[in-house]
Chain A
Amino acid sequence: MAVASSLALLATACGSGDDGSSSGGGSSAAALEGRGPITLASGKDTSGNLQHQLDAWNSSHPNEKVELKELPDDADAQRQQMVQNAQNQSDAYSVLVMDVVWTSEFAANQWISQIPEDKVPDLGKLVPATVETAKYRDKLYGVPITSDGGLLYYRKDLLTAAGITDAPKTWDELLADCQKVAATPGGKGMSCYAGQFEKYEGLTVNFSEAVNSAGGEIVDKDGKPNVDTPEALAGLQELQNGFKTGAIPKAAITYKEEESRRAFQDGKLLFLRNWPYVYSLANKTDGSSKIAGKFAVAPLPGKDGPGVSSLGGHDYAISSFAKNKATAMDFINFMASEAQQKDNLAKTSLAPTWASLYDDPALTKQFPYLPQLKASIASAQPRPRVVKYGDVTAAIQQAAYDALSKQSDPKAALAALQTKLQSLITQ
């Protein structure tokens, strides 16, 4: 019975997948036509500001109203619903709020429409790295609305006490700073550094950052895997050595964002790699954080200079099976506009893609980390942009996790990863 029910689930999941005749999808350079009501499929509107923005649009466009379709909180569940919607060729979702790593899969399946670049007048005003996340084979398939980059959080109070004035710019400086702080009374019993090393998407992010920050790459400019290189090896070895020497605490192999944030807030870590959302939480003075006012942020360090962050964030795309695509395009441009992004940043603290907002004095006062975040995002690299992203990220996690948790030979791990990626990407 139970197995039958899971089989049934499977069958309904793929009910219409196999008779997929050619659809009105995006191959014909997508004429974005038709006006009228549309929908916006997005993850949970936790702040309530999304609905607020939609109300603003709806009051000025009474005949082209946008209805919010709230999807689950979990990104995997969001993707699953969007995939199902596309496979049923349903017009239930018009505009999709997509994680930046889904673009290639959705574009290759023609689930989302290609967007001519001249339809997005503000494209040049957006941070170029974020626009790259919305491209597949040099064609635009979405518009980045929010972004995200990694930051190095550090204990300014302890560094100052140890006579260090600037945040470290390289890994060696970071490790040296740790030794200096460990010699001071305040630094007793603290671990040096942590990121996110549990076997999940965060490990792909942290591994990519280590590889990119050492001058390596996972996938090259032409989309071919290129991870079996001395640079990538240097990146992986740095993380491995961190675990071996204890600079990274053993428990960090179980850290996701929240676990690592708690460790930092409890005063167990000198340095932490995390996203901007930590800033306001770690500064809370209600007793949840022991380090409120005692830390600062800097761009990520690298091997011989500044590090390279992985990019997070969301792109807005138009479903191939949607009606009223012209309205959808206008709505996306509305959401991408400076006024809306500014409003959204002020209310939700989600990082914008509009470049000049990072230099806005009022916003910088409200979010003191903006200049560092700008540096992080401007030099950031997207995670591998591949059609089979789910398989690729699983392969990366497998290689990195084994190397970090079992201290296995990093060179062999990267060689195996290269072979695996080749079989996943050339197909």
Chain B
Amino acid sequence: MTATAPVAERPAKEPKQPKRQQRFNEGTGRLAALLLSPTLLVLGLVVLFPIISALRESLFTSGTTLDENGFIVKGSTFVGLDNYLDIFKGDTGHRFWNAFYNTTFFTVVCVVLETVLGVAMALIMHKAFKGRGIVRASILVPWAIPTVVSALLWKWIFQADGIANQLIGTQVLWSTEGWQSKLSVIIADTWKTAPFIGLLVLAGLQTIPAEVYEAAKVDGASVWKTFTRITLPLVKPALLVAVLFRILDTLRIFDLPFVLVGPHKDSVETLSMLAYDQAFNTRYGPAAAYATVLFVYVAVVAYAFVKILGADVIGEARARKPGGGGGNGKRWRKKNAAQGAPNTAVGAVTVSGGGGQ
């Protein structure tokens, strides 16, 4: 992929793309570094510093002993990895693995359901029909509602004398321990975030040129064949990014089970809730340890997801890499198309995260 060849071949079609791929000379590199430095500084301040500070915090405890007057001895003690070891020991260990299981369970079930429903929603939203604007808007409403508010709405629905019980005709006590509380969280989470996947997949769908479908029609392909052979492969990059964001989001699920079902319930307790519980009781060292364990878990899952399914979060950066896989070349256009979507997604995810804390 040299820089000049494509320009010569198709100068009128896409003049901007090849230019970007020109190799920087040293002066430009230095200028780029200079221009990027404020961003890097801010990122270091809001991302790197808190992570390091939390890691440091997780090695200390404070406020655990009383002096003879009943006052808490001040200052913090270095305890090494004790906060981490305590997580896996005895009762707390049992609680941790239960929360770990719940978190993973919610992530797998919710994301699968949301993906199926989200893709279906996107297909509907993509169709041209009367009132499409209204359908699109109404599908996106759940995503626009803050999680805590939607949790309260669902709590109201799932009350002992609520509408859910009236519809099914029996009295299920949704907020009690057991499968029903898990189910209520899954329903509420799917309702809220399937539109998110729908939105990103819709963005992917809109980049598929109509000619491809026309060609399939001419060739006599069935609807199912068209979907599995054309729509899915072409929308895959956008879909994978959406699913990745949902996985990361659901792994740190907190507000929905906390508000909808309540704290300290074994059936729905997640890893974030454990960290919250420690911090609430002013044990910041153990809280930081829990948060770090969750952080590592999320990072591992994200890395595995990207490696195994090849979700292309960094977009064209990978395409430029020499020997970045033969399959990448023919997909790069789609990747570029998906560029806009992940950026909005990052914003949305961060905003929703902020609301939950």
- A-to-B contact residues, CB < 8 Å: 1-14, 17-23, 27, 76, 80, 83, 107-110, 136-137, 198-200, 250-251, 253-255, 259, 262-263, 387-388, 390-391, 394, 397-398, 405-406, 427
How far does the Cβ of B262 sit from chain A's closest Cβ, in whole Å? 6
The stretch among B65-73, B114-122, B317-325 that forms the contact with chain A is B65-73
Within B70-106, which residues are at the interface with A (CB < 8 Å)? Answer: 70-72, 74-76
User: Apart from A10-B287, A13-B284, A108-B66, what are 4 other A-B pairs with CB-CB below 8 Å?
Assistant: A3-B248, A3-B252, A18-B57, A253-B176
Closest to A251 in B: B160
Are A14 and B284 closer than 8 Å at their CB atoms?
A: yes
Within 8 A of A (CB), among B276-303: 277, 279-282, 284, 287-288, 291-292, 294-295, 298
Contact B353 A18 (CB under 8 A): no
Most central of A10, A21, A108, A254 by chain B CB within 10 Å:
A10
When distances are taken between beta carbons in the complex, the residues of chain B under 8 Å from A137 are 69-70
A105 smallest CB distance to B (angstroms) = 8
Taken together as a complex, chains A and B put the C-alpha atoms of A9 and B49 apart, in Å, by 12
> In chain B between 329 and 357, which residues have their CB closer than 8 angstroms to a CB of chain A?
346, 349-350, 353-354, 357
Interface of A is mostly: helix
B160 contacts A10, C-beta separation under 8 Å: no
Contact A1–B354 (Cβ < 8 Å): no
Nearest CB in chain B: distance from A98 CB, A: 15
A-B contact count (CB 8 A): 147
Taking CB atoms, residues of chain B closer than 8 Å to A110 are: 71-72
Tell me whether B72 and A2 are in contact (CB under 8 A): no
A11–B54 alpha-carbon span in the complex (Å): 6
* In the complex, chain B residues whose CB is within 8 Å of the CB of A107: 70
- Interface residues of B, count at CB 8 A: 58
CB-contact partner of B294 in A3, A251, A387, under 8 A: A3
Q: Would you call A2 and B173 a contact (CB within 8 A)?
A: no
Residues of chain A within 8 A (CB-CB) of B171 are 250-251
- B70, A2: Cβ atoms under 8 Å? no
Q: Which residues of B contact A76 (CB under 8 A)?
A: 280
Chain B 180-192 interface 0/1 with A at a Cβ cutoff of 8 Å (1 = within): 0000000000000
**Contact status B175-A10, CB under 8 Å:** no
Do A8 and B173 touch (CB < 8 A)?
no
**B117-136 residues at the A interface, CB under 8 angstroms:** none
| 27 chain-A/chain-B pairs, Cβ below 8 angstroms | A3-B295, A4-B50, A7-B291, A10-B279, A10-B288, A11-B49, A11-B57, A11-B288, A12-B50, A14-B288, A17-B62, A17-B284, A18-B60, A18-B75, A27-B71, A107-B70, A108-B72, A136-B70, A199-B263, A200-B262, A251-B173, A254-B160, A254-B176, A263-B161, A388-B281, A390-B281, A394-B277
The reply on B264 being an interface residue by CB < 8 A is: yes
On whether A2 and B57 interact (CB within 8 A), knowing A7-B50, A10-B287, the answer reads no
Q: Smallest Cβ distance from B33 to chain A, in angstroms?
A: 23
The answer to whether B249 has its CB under 8 Å from any CB of chain A is: yes
Give 9 closest A-B pairs by Cβ, nearest first: A8-B50, A251-B160, A14-B284, A18-B76, A2-B353, A11-B53, A7-B54, A390-B281, A137-B70
Question: Is B208 an interface residue when CB atoms closer than 8 A count as contact?
Answer: no
Partner of A5, one of B60, B275, B353: B353
